[in-house]
Amino acid sequence: MMNKTVLSILLTASVVSVAEAQTKLVEKVTRQGDELVIPYTKYKLPNGLTLIVHEDNSDPVVHVDVTYHVGSGREEVGKSGFAHFFEHMMFQGSDNVADEEHFKIVSESGGTLNGTTNRDRTNYFETVPSNQLETALWLEADRMGFLLDAVTQPKFEVQRETVKNERGQNYDNRPYGLVYEMTSKNLYPYGHPYSWTTIGYIEDLNRVNVNDLKNFFLRWYGPNNATLTVGGDVKPEEVVKLVEKYFGSIPAGPAVQDMKPQPAKLDKDRYVSYEDNIRFPMLRMTFPSPESGHKDEPALDVLAEVLGQGKNSIFYKNFVKEQKAMQASVFNSTSELAGEFGITVMAYPNTPLAQTEELARKSIAEFETRGINEEDLQRFKAQAESSLINRMASVSGKVSQLAYYETFRNNPNYLQEEIKRIQSVTKEDVQRVYNQYIKGKPAVILSVVPKGKAELLAKADNYTVDQSGYTAGADEYSGLKYTKAVDTFDRTKRPGAGENPVVAVPNYYTGKFRNGLKMIGTNTNEIPTVTLQLSIKGGHRLAANNPAKAGIASLTADMLNEDTQNYTSEQFSNELDKLGSSIRVGSGQDDTYVIVQSLKKNLDKTLALLEERLFRPKFNPDDFERLKKQQLEGIANQATQPTAIASSVYNKLLYGNNHIMSIPTSGTSETVENITLDDVKQFYNSYYSPSVTELVVVGDISEKELMGKLDFLKKWKKKNVQLPAETKAPAIEKTRIYLVDKPDAAQSEIRIGYMAMPFDATGEYYKLGLMNYNLGGAFNSRINLNLREDKGYTYGARSYFSGSKYAGPFTASAGVRADATAESVTEFMKELSDFQKNGIKEDELQFMKSSIGQADARQYETPYQKANFLGRILRFDLNKDFVKKQTDILNSITKQEIDALAARHLPVANMHIVVVGDKKTVLPKLEALNYEIVELDTDGNPIASSSVK
């Protein structure tokens, strides 16, 4: 569910209430002055559909959200996963929209779309250029009112496989993927709506049939159980007319009552456990807490922050700082019916979880002596204010907030009440909820330990689920009938689009300081925030100067997030949190980055902290030893992750053993062991220089005002930094399969590709992006439709080019069912070969041009989008008119050009095929393919080679 949004200041809004009548207007909320409120108009249709419209003309985009008040909590025992299953089925076509057309139409319109399911609601949403509003409403109405005849048995079977793949990828085969499922079934009584997860159980998915699924839809997906929220560049009166046209005739479904809260109740600690393919033992303690909206929720949120969020928390101090655990956190998570106060500790390898539990209980008890202070409340409220304001950066964020409050509070303007709830929290409230819900109270205590290491359990299991007290609820599904709307217009005709909106590329200013630092910025006043991004060129590639110490860029960046000369890391974090600001230092392949987020009113204090962080690191030896240990443990952990193994082995093959990019950015155990604190200091002193730094600024500040605040960057001393030259990657003699054994893996990771070319915004690289769009770049691409939608082999498959200033690879990838590994390789190569040989089809060419051509409306909406756009201009020295040049290329490119690009840049006879999977399952079928197979270990070293087939 959505994170709660709160403010530390009292806001008001002008609310006009109108008695419900034929006008269908319920209320109108407007903004007065500079107050932070989301204006909207709320309507009710005769069939029960709630419509909320938010007008925001700052960007030519529209976000449409349909939220149905049904999630996995409406399911029943033996039929879990229905709400999520239907999320998939809602994209499989309806009476007037063909199979896969929903994705295609929205993509072709320059939009993006998705759906999500949780315990309490399911939502479907599109963000499209404003001229495509009617199309989006037509699509959503068609699947609300005209879906079931299009739900066929073959579609049902394919999506059942897709959901199984999703479960395998995100739950069964993911480390710690079953933590939530194990917690839920042991925390709540058997049959409780929250005792299973939204994905459901495989046995339930296998058991159900298509008619079960249709009945679920008929019961819960009526307009009277839905909220339609439309936001963006629209006129409310026009939206109302369109919604009445497309949704007004859809009959109401059966009445739906809100469910009453059902918080969990425990009479003693419940110890449960399972073994997993992991490196770090995990302890998860879960205490029952009240539902979302309960009066005690804000105080429990404060308690969770003090116990286990951030560097000032008790759990961070006792576990992470003292090197007793890799991670330790506490969160109060709430849903419509119940809440869960969860403590999670990921211990170091071979740590007995009994020790972890003992320290966790001591840390909880430490709260009694520490207590709550005014700074705790100040931090919490400042961060809440910042969170709310940043959520308003996009139309989708504002629409989601309105839809959530309407669905669960029956009041889109509930933000005002939320603010009051937060403001009223006192130190006494936090102490009270600690005593009421946590102190001495029983919990579900889950141990997750590596396979074969049951001796690490906190305690032996003492609880099994008791089914004896369960009584099935009333039958919700008998006598349901499917009644379609009767219209006075032809619903089969797709609406025409209005005139394409004029998309304004952000105006920007540029500059260069005497020390070589380059900057670019734009002034935008939609929200009162400022975002800064510093990019220091080099990053991991600088380790090419000393490959024996690869990983040093990452470790140096991590050190800059710790103590400074004037602040401990805890003090620094405290000062940031009180401002609602963030400063984060990280490192990637090509650069070290510093990302700064601040409310406009707190920018000066935030920049003073940035100066401290960037120029006065302390390089504390204790911090270094702790971070080095964590980095080494993280590297060791990668050996348990098939996705990480696949990417690492693939890069080693692409770049060759002597290339720095054949080593992960985190380094290897050997290289990181070599790194000393003096090495980190030298790396910082040698490579952190304004001469290789680019600054991007986006926010509510003018160039003139900004420049007066950047003296500390102008005084930054220049150093002579030589960036490493490009090293040519080895040629690929012929296409081979490289197999890495991952015993008993239920899924296989596949990577296929070769070294392509560097980024070029208006040259051949840009054209290759156009070429790949239909092959593997869009949801409706050939690769994804084949492997996911037609075959059910995977949850998602794709291909892409990823060049930077340096040459980057072309890659096709997917995680697939183990038993379909060889078949997936076959289908990948079939699609690549066909595109290389025969090129693009005319309808695909037009789809690509329409989709990419109209997508510009979504490119510059949020501060981060603007910052990334401007950063690209600076990084690649692009001309101001490069977007126009791209548009000209897009409009003029021909089928012949695309076909020539495919023929030249899809060398199917000279690619690496990497497969990470269970050898005993996948090898026999792979041997039947016409490729030489080379077996590698997890480090990419050869084990054996078969003969050519």
> Would you state the structure tokens that stand for residue 459, as one six-digit string?
């305690």
What's the rounded Cα separation, in Å, for the pair 653 and 646? 11
Give domain limits for the chain. 38-247, 270-390+409-456, 509-714, 736-945
DSSP assignment letter at 97: B
- Say if CB 150 and CB 93 are below 8 A apart: yes
DSSP string, 181-197: HHHHHHHSPTT-TTSS-
**Which of 13-22, 137-146, 818-827 comes out lowest in average pLDDT?**
13-22
Per-residue pLDDT for 2 more than 60?
no
Write down the architecture of domain 509-714 according to CATH: 2-Layer Sandwich (3.30)
> Nearest Cα to 177, choosing from 190, 167, 162, 165?
167
What's the rounded Cα separation, in Å, for the pair 892 and 890? 6
- The more confident residue out of 207 and 814 is 814
> Nearest Cα to 214, choosing from 482, 588, 567?
482
Mean pLDDT within 60-83: 95
Sorted by sequence, the CB contacts under 8 Å of residue 475 that are 6+ apart come out as none
Query: Beta strand pairing status for 270-276 and 339-347?
Result: unpaired
What pLDDT score does 946 carry? 56
Fold agreement between 38-247 and 509-714: yes
Q: What are residue 519's DSSP bridge partners?
A: 511, 695
What pLDDT score does 945 carry? 61
Phi, psi of 507 (to 5 degrees): -65, 145
What's the rounded Cα separation, in Å, for the pair 747 and 821? 8
Query: In the predicted model, what is the mean pLDDT of the chain?
Result: 93
> Tens of pLDDT along 746-785?
899 999 999 999 999 999 999 999 999 999 999 999 999 9
What's the rounded Cα separation, in Å, for the pair 594 and 612? 13
Topology classification of domain 38-247: Cytochrome Bc1 Complex; Chain A, domain 1 (3.30.830)
> Tens of pLDDT along 675-728?
999 999 999 999 999 999 999 999 999 999 999 999 999 999 999 999 988 888
Residue 13: band (very low, low, confident or very high) from pLDDT cuts 50, 70, 90: very low
Residue 282: count other Cβ atoms within 10 Å of its Cβ. 22
Residue 228: band (very low, low, confident or very high) from pLDDT cuts 50, 70, 90: very high
Residue 32: band (very low, low, confident or very high) from pLDDT cuts 50, 70, 90: confident
Q: Is the four-CA dihedral 91, 92, 95, 97 of positive or negative sign?
A: positive
Write down the architecture of domain 736-945 according to CATH: 2-Layer Sandwich (3.30)
> Would you state the structure tokens that stand for residue 54, as one six-digit string?
């938010």
User: What value, to the nearest 5°, has the Cα angle with vertex 88 and ends 85 and 91?
Assistant: 150
> Tens of pLDDT along 858-876?
888 888 889 999 999 999 9
Question: What is the per-residue burial (b if ≥16 Cβ within 10 Å, else e) of 240-255?
Answer: bebbbbbbbbbbbbee
> Nearest Cα to 199, choosing from 295, 102, 86?
86
- Say if CB 854 and CB 112 are below 8 A apart: no
> Nearest Cα to 406, choosing from 29, 60, 111?
29
What's the rounded Cα separation, in Å, for the pair 873 and 98? 40
What's the rounded Cα separation, in Å, for the pair 6 and 298? 9
What separation in angstroms does the CA of 120 have from each of 68, 262, 331? 9, 13, 19
Taken as a whole, the chain contains a residue count of: 949
What pLDDT score does 12 carry? 34
Mean pLDDT within 482-494: 94
Choose the CATH number for 270-390+409-456 among 3.30.830.10, 1.10.10.10, 3.30.360.10, 3.40.50.10140: 3.30.830.10
Residue 526: band (very low, low, confident or very high) from pLDDT cuts 50, 70, 90: confident
